[in-house]
Structure 1
Amino acid sequence: MNKGNSGILFNWNDEVAVLNGNIEYIKKITYLLLINEKDTFLNLINDLLIRIDGYLRTFQNLSKHCEAEIWIFILIRCIVVKFSENHLIESWTMINSSIFQILSEGYQKIVQVKDCGNVLVELEVEEEDENVGVFNQVFLEACKLLDILVVINYEEFQLSEWVFICDNMDGIYNNPGQQVGILEKLSKNSVLISGSGELTIDNKGVPMLKNIVKIKSLIDMKRFFGMLKIEKFENDYEMRDIKYDAITQDILHDLLSI
């Protein structure tokens, strides 16, 4: 493959009607990044990030979520792992805002359900409700991206991570005055507290959502909301080694399973 010709990798189309038609190209790019060494495609990273930013802006203008959004989040997860931090500096605002937007939308959905009184039923995915299923998958992928960012702990990400989780001791011991992150708000929401949740989280030095491919409901994520700040605290103070092989294998697993 000629790495100098980015046109080989892309068939991006700005028409919203064909966004999902680019999924196979997004998968191809993700796979190429995964099977090569870190920083192999440095000559493509700027173009790639610009095109991803264009996608994210398009998604914001859609009335509903589309499947391409799922794969863009998986691609971003791959980029975070397969490129060094110094090549990602210009992209942090884009990455952080895209995660925050999805988490905030999930929070608003939960609040609406709570206000309507249907605590659990409306959060469950009905088979015929494709839109709910797509959003839940997008939500999961945004959480998996955040999960990896917490594990890798890049300095630039640290500057804005308070938006997502409280990383000080008051946050760990549930001081209400310190719960400003969106995950704290999600974890303390009574709708989620009353849910059963189905995730079995392995938090032994790898991303907490490793091997989680799908969720039936936002309720399934409640343990992740509550545990991520604790996991970050333990990673920071125990200085755990980052298991990059496990991270890349999880991305590959998603690539082949979703």
Structure 2
Amino acid sequence: MKVVTPKSFTFEGGNRAVLLLHGFTGSTKDVKRLGEYLQKRGFTCHAPMYKGHGVTPEELLETSPADWWQDVVDGYNYLKNHGYEEIAVAGISLGGVFSLKVAEEFPVKAVVSMCAPIKRNSAEGLSDRLYNYAKIYKSFEGKSKDVIIEELEELRNIPKDSLNGVQSFTEGTCEDLHSITSPTLVLQGALDDSIYKESASFILDHVETEEKELIWYQESGHIITLGKEKDKVCEDVYAFLNQVDWSDTLHQNQ
């Protein structure tokens, strides 16, 4: 059975733009509900689908964090090129790291970092994520258990340089947190792994802005945008973005 690959999306809602960023082995489905929620409340949302994501794990390993980061930059420029002068950014997991990097590198009205592993000290957990993704993907393809076991074993022998690249990218982003002066919202699931929970407090402590907040979700794990408290996540992100000092300039669609 052929697996349908999720695609980038743009939901036009108004002159306030939000760049939405998904996680490693994830897809734009991670942030689609949030995008729809914000669109209904006057925000235009654009979410790029990174290269190598939503396809086979073998294809994912042929891409690198540099490729995914370029997709993020292209997403930011997509909004700029379509006339959106004021852009906020929100991302989950690796997308949370990317959202912080966007705030370090580009002008943004605000940044929302959700479950970002900024304190990750090795690529070990990424391998686990990749294998879990591979099992699910191959199951969706309709492959037998024996074939899946065989292909997973082959996957272990494929070089995983791209995973090490994620680690170095994250470390670089962590070092420059002090350069973030935009209003910052950090969201974190209380049932998530310790590395993410430690990261949430670290991000809050190290961004330079005085307009910052950390919200915990007591019944949520890692992908909080799809978990038990997904509705509250949407409400909190909207409330935060709505209090940002946006200008009244009307959006001119180019």
Structure with the largest fraction of helix: 1
TM-score, normalised by the number of residues in structure 2: 0.34
More strand per residue: 2
Q: What's the TM-score, normalizing by structure 1?
A: 0.33
